Structure 1
Amino acid sequence: IRIADATREGRFHPAEHLANAAEGLLAELVRVSHALAPLRERECASAVAGPVVGSYARRLVQDDAPEVTVLQRCCWTEEAVANGTLDVPALHESPDQVRAWLADWQTTGLWRDGRLLGMVRTRRSGADLHVGRLAVVPDLRGLGLGRWLLRTAEAAGEGCSRIVLSTGAASTRNLALYQGQGYGPVPTSTD
């Protein structure tokens, strides 16, 4: 649209077909911008290559809360069923609650093409490193993403004397992963 050609008596009056074409072009630019966002993000200095071709990991920030909320719901539904309880905080947290804990935990997200594939969070407490919310999207389980995320979390524990994590007592897949990586149950006190 040439503004000079569409101005009459000091007012802007573009031809309808040109206005529609301009709106269509703008909509296409927005669509392309959204499609290219993951490529721009992957080039972020803090992003590291992930274990799957085209994947990358970066620290999750509060703006990632909606994606984290969706990931938690799809991952912890199976855990709730396996353990016979819906009393699983990850199933009930709102994006605002997720945003709050993202500020308190060091959380790594694994991404590909704008999709959050998995995550793990860590936090130091004294000489302990607490690991939690290890999650991988159901359709990509069994490809080593969980092990890769666990190793990423463990790397944050330099100088810690112990790594502490927990899972449901009936979460056999999680227990197998952790035991396969050298973790074992901590005896519970009978006091």
Structure 2
Amino acid sequence: MLISRRTSGLHATGPTVNSFILLIPFYALAHLFTFCLLKRLSVEEIRAAQSFNNFCAKETEKLMYRKMVICVTEATPEEVVRVASKLCDKETEVIVLHVVRVLTDLQRREAEEKFAWVIETLKKEGIQARLELVESADPKSAIVSFVRENSADVVVTGTIQKKGILALVSESISDYLIKHVPCTLVLVKRPD
């Protein structure tokens, strides 16, 4: 799945099979309708074809992501959470991840208060989520390690385009994740 940043503010990388398979029930239904009109099928034949279409729809539902990691910082826009909520269902295990350099009890409480809005936003959509705080001096590798250890299917995070000399000398977290994350990665561009 690849969606251009310029058109929708969203960029995703990962398997293209999921997006193709999601269209199967639609094509099956269209094919069934056309076939019924041309062949004048009996009621039994139509019911058999409909049950096949229902089977395709049920198989498609199984392709939703099972485990999602949403990477958050103090600057995470609501758009990241909105996109993440559209990519999962009530069965998806959602982990909201925040990486800090040093984790004290005070910082833990502050982070829980700071990111409560993310958990509440997902809860309003009927999605259960939990906040995980990871202590690391290197957020890039901490995110990749966390994703691997938790066998996540998808990672959703925001991205900010670096400008000037900073863009030339350092690699952004999103660039690092594109190269190293072992699953689907969805980058949500900050709205202008």
- Report if TM-score (shorter chain) is over 0.5: no
For the aligned pair, the TM-score class normalised by the smaller chain equals under 0.3
TM-score, normalised to structure 2, is 0.27
> Max radius of gyration: which structure?
1
Q: Highest relative contact order (Cα 8 Å, sep 6+), 1 or 2?
A: 2
